[in-house]
Amino acid sequence: MFNNEFVINLPTKELLEQVWAVGTWSGRNVDKFQATGLTPIPADVVKPPRIAECPTHIECRIIDTLDTGDHTIFVGEVVAKSGDPDAMRDGPSTSALSLCSILGARNSSAVANELTSVGI
């Protein structure tokens, strides 16, 4: 976390392996950009980088946190968005992008209603 700022980079399903790695590896012992081949690029407003391979980015400043015991939830105010204009008309469009997310453990999902297992 840089100066209470963060970037939400919205990955496509083509980046599923890298998303799994970034979401499960600690950044203390490994350079996640170098290890995954992802490319950091400067953000428009905040200090943390955007990921070039992600088609859409949402830059945020932290306005609140919630400690849940073993995790902290960060609440952010959107200060900039960038990327594919068709995907950002009224916010991220799931029809314009084939997004993916990690659901936990080795489960992941893609907006196209596919369920894939990744990892070791």
Q: Structurally, how many domains does the chain consist of?
A: 1
pTM listed for this prediction: 0.76
Q: Which two tokens stand for residue 112?
A: 């196209």
Residue 67's CATH number: 2.30.110.10
Q: Output the tens digit of pLDDT for each of the chain's 120 residues.
A: 458 999 999 888 889 889 888 888 888 889 999 999 999 999 999 999 999 999 989 999 999 999 999 888 999 999 999 987 766 665 555 555 676 666 655 555 544 444 444 443
Domain that holds residue 36: 5-117
pLDDT, residue 83, reads 86
Q: Which residues contact 5 (CB under 8 A, 6 or more apart)?
A: 46, 47, 48, 59, 60, 61, 62
pLDDT, residue 107, reads 52
